[in-house]
Amino acid sequence: MIGSLLVLLSAGLVAGYFSYRSQQASDLSQRATRALAKEDFTAARVYSEKSLEIRPGDTNVLLVYAEAVFKDGNLDSEKRVQLALDALSRIPDDSDEGLRARMHEASIHFFDQLKPVKAERALRRALAISTDHTESLNSLMQIFCCTSRETLIEPLFESLVQNSQNRRQTREVLANWFLSQFSLGTYNSKTDPLLRVDGLYQVNIPLSQKRLLAFRDAEPGQQLPQVALAYWFYIRSDGKQAKLLLDELTPEQIDLSDPLYLITAVNTYFEVGEIELAATLHQYWKDETYFEYWRQKGVIEQDYENDPRQAVDSFQRALTIWPGPIDPSIYFRLETCLKTIGDQESASKYRKLGEEMRNTTSSERIRELQQILLEGELNQENCEKFVSFYETLGRQNEMQYWRSLPSLPE
Amino acid sequence: MSLTACKNQNGTGGNAGPVSNSPDSTAGTSGSKGTGTGNSGKADPGLISRLNKVRDRESRPQGLVEPLFEDRAPEWGVDFSLYRDAVKDRFFFPEVMGAGIAWLDYDLDGFWDLYLANGDALVAASQPQNRQHQNQLFRNLLETGFDAVTDFAAPDGRGFSQGLATGDANRDGFVDLFVSNHGQNYLLLNLGDGSFSSQPVGDLANEPLWSTSCVQVDLDQDDDLDIVVASYVDWTVGNHHPCNYKGTAGYCGPGTYAATRDLVYENQGDGTYVEVGQSAGFDFKSKGLVVCAADFDHDRNPEIYLGSDLTRNAFYRQREKGLKYENIADDSGVAASKNGLAEATMGLAVRDFDQNGEIDLFLTHYYQNKNTLYLNQQGLLFKDASYETRIKNLSFDFIGFGTVAIDYDHDTDFDLFISNGHVLGEQIPPFRLTPQLINNSECRFFDLSSQSGIYFQRKFAGRSVASCDFDNDGDVDLCVGHLDAPYALLENRTRSGNKSIQLQLLDQDRQDLVGTEVIVHLGAEKVVLPVVRGQSYLSAMDPRLHLGVGELDAVGVTVHWAAGGKTEFENLATDRTWLLSPEGNPVQMPGPRQARAPAR
C-alpha cells in the first residue's frame, strides 16, 4: 500500500515536474516570441534557447530561435548564420513550421550568403510542401531572374497569376512578369540592393555582373552561378569571356539536364565558332518544350547542316514557345531560310513581322509601359494599353489577365 | 595549301549520344516544366573529350604561317601625318573619321605611287590653307623610295578630303583621281606629263555636304567611268554639338545626325559630270561610309555595295540597260545581319573567302559588336556566316575601319587585315586599338596579330588602309592611316616559302574591267579572282590581282572579259607580274624583286 502510494506520489511528482517544465518552456517560448516582436533579438535568442533546452524538438521555438539568432547583432555574423541554419535544419518539412523554415533557409542562403543554389533547393522543398505557395513561387522567380534564367519563368508566372487572390496581387504578378521579360534590370533593381554587392569588386563593373560574380564566388564549383555568369557575357555578345567561364567547369560539374547550361553552352560555342561542339551539345537537349531548344535547332540546321527547309520548321516551332515570339532574330532567320528555298513571299512576311516585333518591343515602347507600372494608375485605359501590347505579341492569356484586372476584387 | 571550302562545314562525326535530363538537378531551372527522363545528366566520355579538346585548343590551328609586316615608312620616305583640324573639346564629327589612301601608277613606270588625302580647316576662315593641309602625292622611284612630289605634280588637292577613287576618267590612258570631300568634290585629271589639274565635280548647293568613299565605275556600259559616292550624315558646323558619355564630352555618332542620299555622277563623255543618283535608282538614304563595285552574279556588269553606319546597307543591281539600278540588299540578305540588325558598317573587304567561286563581303563594325562575313550563295543571295567562321569571335573587342583581303602567306585563301580604332574621343578609352591580321584557314579565321610584328603590338586610332605590292617583290604590302600617328607603310616580310602570281589586266575595248573574271587554275583546283573597285575605307587599292599559288612554278589562267569573250593563258610562270589582254600575249611586268628598303 505504502509502496503504491510512493509510486503514485513519484509519478505525480514527475508529472508535476514535467508539467512545470512544460509550462516553463511555454512561458519561455512566449517571452521569446514577445521579445522577437519587440526586435529584442538577444532576449528572444536567450529565451528560445532555454525553451529549447526543455523542448529541443519544438519546431515553433526553433523557428523563433533561428530568426532571433540570425538577427542578434551581439553574435558574430558567421556564427549567427550557422546557428540559424542549424536550427532551421531541425525543422522537418512535414511539421507545421516546415514551410516557413524552408522559406527562412532560402532567404538566408540567398540574401545573406549569396548562394542561389542552396536557396533554390530550400524553395523547391517549400513548394513540395505547398505547391501553390505564392511567397515561394515569387522568391523562386526572383532567384531565376537574378541568375540569368528570366526566359524560363513562364510556368512560375502562370502559377502565380492563377493563385492571386485579389487585384493588388494580380497587378503585382502581372507587373513583375512584364518587367522580368522586357526590363530585367528594373525587375532586379528591387532585389539587388538587398544583396549588398555594390561595394564588391571593381567600381566600374555593372551591378548585375557583380551580383553574378558574388554568386559564383559564394558557391564555387556549382554549375548554376558559373553558367549564369557565362550567360551574362554571352547575352552581351562577349562569347570569348562566356567560353572561358564555361571552360572552367570540370566534366564532373556539368549537368546536361540543366537548360541554362545547354542554352548558354550551345549558344556560346556557336558564337565563338566551335559549331561542331555546339551541334553535339544540342543533341543532349531532351526537353523540347523550351523555345531555345527549337531556336538552336533551327540555327544549327541553317548554319551547320545547310538545311534551310528543316530550319524553317524549327524556327516556326520556336515562335510558338515563350519567349520565342519576342525574339526578332527568329523572324529574320526565317526570312533568310525562306529566301534560300525560294519562298520570297513568306520571307517578306517574316521580315515585316520581325520589324514589327522590334518596334513593339522597342525601348521607347517598353519605357512607356514601364512608366505606367511604376507611376500610373492601373485604370481601364492603362490596362488596355497592356492588352493591346500583348495582343501584338499574340499572348491571349496576358490579354485576358490585363483586361479583367480592373474588375477583380480589391 | 588547302582549297577546302567552308560552304558545308558538317562535323567530323562523333555523335557522342544524348544524355537525358536529371529529374533532381540541383541546378535545375525548369520551373514546372518537364524535368527529363531520369538519366544522370552527366557528360559522357565522348562529350568530355570534345569539351576538353575545345578547352585546350590553341587559339589557332597548327602550321599556320606566321605573318611579318614591318612599318618601313621612314625608310621608304613616306612621312605623312593626317591633318584633321582637331581642336580640343570641340568634337567636330569629321575630325575623327580619317581620310583615304590611293595606290596608282600615275606615271606608268610600273611602280605604284601613293596619294594620301588630307584634312583642312573645317571652319574655313579659321586657318589659312597652306601646304601642310594639302593632300600628298608620293612618287615611287623604287630604288630610292618614295619622293614627295605634291608641289610639282598635284598642288590642287585641297579641302577636307575623305575618299579617293582611281580610274581613267577621260580615257587618255593615264589614271585620274576622284577626291570626295566634306565640301566640294573634285577630279584630279592626270595630264600625262607627271602633273594633275583639278576640276570640281557636282553641285554642292544641291548635294549632301559630306561625301565619303567613292568608286569610278562604268555603270551604264557606255565605256566611260561614272562615279558612285557614299554620303555620310548631314553634319555641318551649324548643327554640330558634342555628345555626353557618362559625364565626359566626346564625338557624337551617326545616330545623332540624319542620313543623306548617295551620289552618282554620270560621266557625260566630254569631261563633265551630271549627278543622277535619284533617277538612277540610288534613292536609298544611308549613312554611307564605304562602297565597292564588283560583278557578284557573273553577268559581266557591276553591282554596287554600299556599306552604311547604323542604317541598312544597300546593294544595287542594274535593273535594265543604262543607268537604271535597284536596291536588292534586303532580298539578297546583305542589308542587315542575320539577326536583322542594321550594323555600323565602316569598312569592307571583297573576295571569295570560302572559294566557292562567288564573291563574298566582309564588313567591319562597331566596338563590342561583331564584324560580319556575308558568304555569297550564288544568285545574289548571301548568308551571314560570322559565327561559324569565327569572325564574330575575333571582333568583339575592336571597332574596325579599313580592311583588306590579302593572301599574305600565299596559300591561296584570302586573309584579312583590319585597321581598328575607336571614335568617341581620346578621353573616352579605348580610343586606340591594336590592328589585326587574321588568317583564313579553310574559311575559319584566326587572329595572328600577336605574331605579326611590332606594328601589331602598338595601339592606334586606325582608319584607312590600302593594299599594294609597292616594292614589286610579289607579295602584298599595306599603307595604313591613323588619326594619332604617322601613316604606316607595312612591308610584307612573311617567309612562307610559297609562290605567288600578280595579274594586271588591260582591255582596249573596255575602259572598265569590273565584270572581268579571272580564274587561276592550280592543278585540279581553281580560284576565282574578281575585279573589284573601291572597298576598304575611303581608299583605292592597287588594281593588280594577286594570288598565292603554294609551291607551283606555273599556273594556267582564264580571263572572262567584261566586254565579252575569254582568253586562256597557259603556263604562266609564278613569282611574276603579268600584263594580260584579250589578245593573249602575256607581258611580264617589272619585278618581282627581293624585298628590301632603299637606302635613305
Mean pLDDT of B548-570: 95
Option in A121, A152, A339 nearest B31 (CB): A152
Q: What is the pLDDT of residue B121?
A: 87
For the entire predicted model, the pTM comes to 0.88
Q: What is the pLDDT of residue A114?
A: 97
- Band of pLDDT at residue A30, cut at 50, 70 and 90: very high
Q: What is the pLDDT of residue B551?
A: 94
**Closest residue on chain B to A117 (Cα):** B27
Phi, psi of B201 (to 5 degrees): -125, 130
Q: What is the pLDDT of residue B35?
A: 30
Q: What is the pLDDT of residue A249?
A: 93
What cell does B129 get?
590653307
Nearest-angstrom CA–CA distance, B32 and B411: 55
Q: Count how many residues are written for chain B.
A: 600
Q: Is the pLDDT of residue B162 over 80?
A: yes
What average pLDDT does the structure give for chain B?
88
Option in A223, A240, A340 nearest B381 (CB): A340
- Rounded to a whole number of angstroms, the distance from the CA of B5 to the nearest CA of chain A is 13
CA atoms within 13 A on the CB side of A58: 20
Q: What is the pLDDT of residue A255?
A: 94
- Band of pLDDT at residue B57, cut at 50, 70 and 90: low
- Band of pLDDT at residue B31, cut at 50, 70 and 90: very low
Q: Residues B387-425: pLDDT tens digits?
A: 999 999 899 999 999 999 999 999 999 999 999 999 999
Q: What is the pLDDT of residue B60?
A: 64
- Band of pLDDT at residue B313, cut at 50, 70 and 90: very high
Decide if A156 and B32 are in contact by the 8 Å CB cutoff.
yes
Q: What is the pLDDT of residue B124?
A: 66
Nearest-angstrom CA–CA distance, A124 and B24: 10
Phi, psi of B446 (to 5 degrees): -135, 135
Nearest-angstrom CA–CA distance, B406 and B546: 8
Report the alpha-carbon angle A378-A380-A386, nearest 5: 70
Regarding an ipTM greater than 0.85, the answer is: no
Q: Comparing B124 with B77, which gets the higher pLDDT? A: B77
Quick one: three-class SS letters along A321-350?
A: CCCHHHCHHHHHHHHHHHHHCCCHHHHHHH
- Rounded to a whole number of angstroms, the distance from the CA of A335 to the nearest CA of chain B is 9
**Closest residue on chain A to B39 (Cα):** A257
Mutation for A interface: B40, B381, B386, B387, most A CBs within 10 A: B387
Decide if B338 and A332 are in contact by the 8 Å CB cutoff.
yes
Nearest-angstrom CA–CA distance, B54 and B75: 44
Q: Residues B107-138: pLDDT tens digits?
A: 999 999 999 999 998 886 445 455 458 899 99
Do the beta carbons of residue A405 and residue A378 sit within 8 Å?
A: yes
Q: Is the pLDDT of residue B210 over 60?
A: yes
Option in B12, B330, B392 nearest A276 (CB): B12
Q: What is the pLDDT of residue B599?
A: 46
- Band of pLDDT at residue B41, cut at 50, 70 and 90: confident
- Band of pLDDT at residue B366, cut at 50, 70 and 90: very high
Q: DSSP assignment, residue B233?
A: B
Q: What is the pLDDT of residue B40?
A: 64
What average pLDDT does the structure give for chain A?
93
- Residues of chain A neighbouring B315 (CB-CB closer than 8 A): none
DSSP helix/strand/coil, B277: coil
Q: What is the pLDDT of residue B7?
A: 39
Task: A401-407: list long-range contacts, CB under 8 Å, 24+ apart.
Answer: A401/A161, A401/A170, A401/A174, A402/A174, A405/A167, A405/A170, A405/A171, A405/A174, A405/A378, A406/A167, A406/A378, A406/A379, A406/A380
Nearest-angstrom CA–CA distance, A285 and A321: 16
- Band of pLDDT at residue B16, cut at 50, 70 and 90: very low
- Band of pLDDT at residue A7, cut at 50, 70 and 90: confident
Mean pLDDT of A183-187: 94
Decide if B54 and A332 are in contact by the 8 Å CB cutoff.
no
Nearest-angstrom CA–CA distance, B458 and B529: 33
Distances (CA, A) of B302 to A185, B295, B299, B346: 48, 5, 8, 21
Q: Quick check: B338 contacting A, CB < 8 Å?
A: yes
Q: Mention every residue, 6+ apart, whose C-beta is less than 8 A from residue A8.
A: none
Q: Residues A210-246: pLDDT tens digits?
A: 999 999 999 999 999 999 999 999 999 899 999 999 9
